[in-house]
Amino acid sequence: MGDWFTREITDAGRLRLFCFFVAFIAGFLFIRFSVRMIRAQVRWWPGNVTPGGHHVHHVVFGLVFMCVGGVGGLAVPEDAAGWAAAAAAVFGVGTALVLDEFALVLHLQDVYWTEQGRLSVEVVFITIALSGLMLLGLSPVGVNDAGDGLWSIVSVILFNLCVAVIALLKGKVWTGVLGLFISVFAIVGAVRLARPDSLWARRRYAEGSRKERRARIRERRYRLPIQRLGDRLSDLVAGRPSIKS
């Protein structure tokens, strides 16, 4: 195990990313455990931070951690690997705290325990997936192809970015994000029908058209079962929403 860590993480220059990844997951699990204990009104667990009766959301603490970790990472010398890794870990904890309240920041209101609050968990899962892929050595398609010529690299990156954006516009978030690293996902997402409530479908599928009907049939038949499974996983990790939006 030690040899693998040295070879794949330290020698490969991924120590900071590894510390960020581990700290991010730990920070997310801790804060979700904390808010669930507060929600359950467990006596032995400290409650919300409310100086003067004002509830301070943990996104505020996350921003502080991100500033400390980010500036600290920029300030430490290049040869101070230990301090750089520590700064990355602090930044990871801060990022977890911020993204755990991503929906609150987006809507500018407390939607933490509503259906809209699920968005925060989805963003956290996507961040974990992206960080994990980079930790495994994957990079966005074309980035590491330095020997293939500048224009070839630019062409590959632009093509992959375009199909990934199309997939995202079609409402296929996971397909578009993974497609940045594995182009076949982005291509498939760009070619196939859009989700019925996506920006692409609203702009390009006329109401009652054949494409619009097919998109809704596919949504009910394939997407909704997967969504329900994802919601169960989200509820298991983060708690079930209990407040109507």
How far from 118 is each of 40, 57, 104, 135, 181, CA to CA, in Å?
Answer: 19, 17, 11, 26, 25
Least confident window among 127-131, 192-196, 200-204, 240-244: 240-244
Q: How many CB atoms lie within 10 A of CB 167?
A: 29
**CA distance linking residue 199 with residue 181, whole number of Å:** 23
**pLDDT at residue 147 greater than cutoff 60:** no
Per residue in 94-129, pLDDT (tens digit) is 999 999 999 999 888 888 888 888 889 999 999 999
Per residue in 8-24, pLDDT (tens digit) is 788 888 899 999 999 99
pLDDT band at 170 (very low <50, low <70, confident <90, very high): very high
pTM: 0.84
**pLDDT at residue 208 greater than cutoff 60:** yes
**CA distance linking residue 130 with residue 226, whole number of Å:** 20
Over pLDDT 90: what percentage of the chain?
A: 34
| Residue labelled with tokens 């301090």 | 83
pLDDT of residue 22: 96
**CA distance linking residue 85 with residue 64, whole number of Å:** 18
pLDDT of residue 11: 81
3-state secondary structure of 47: coil
- Within 13 Å of residue 142, how many CA atoms lie on the same side as its CB? 16
pLDDT of residue 88: 95
**Backbone torsion region of residue 52, taken as left when φ is above 0, otherwise alpha when ψ lies between -120 and 50, otherwise beta:** left
How far from 172 is each of 40, 46, 64, 204, CA to CA, in Å?
Answer: 35, 39, 33, 16
Per residue in 33-85, pLDDT (tens digit) is 999 999 888 888 888 888 878 888 999 999 999 999 999 999 988 788 889 99
pLDDT of residue 81: 84
pLDDT band at 194 (very low <50, low <70, confident <90, very high): very high
Do residues 20 and 88 touch, judged by C-beta distance below 8 A?
yes
**Backbone torsion region of residue 114, taken as left when φ is above 0, otherwise alpha when ψ lies between -120 and 50, otherwise beta:** beta
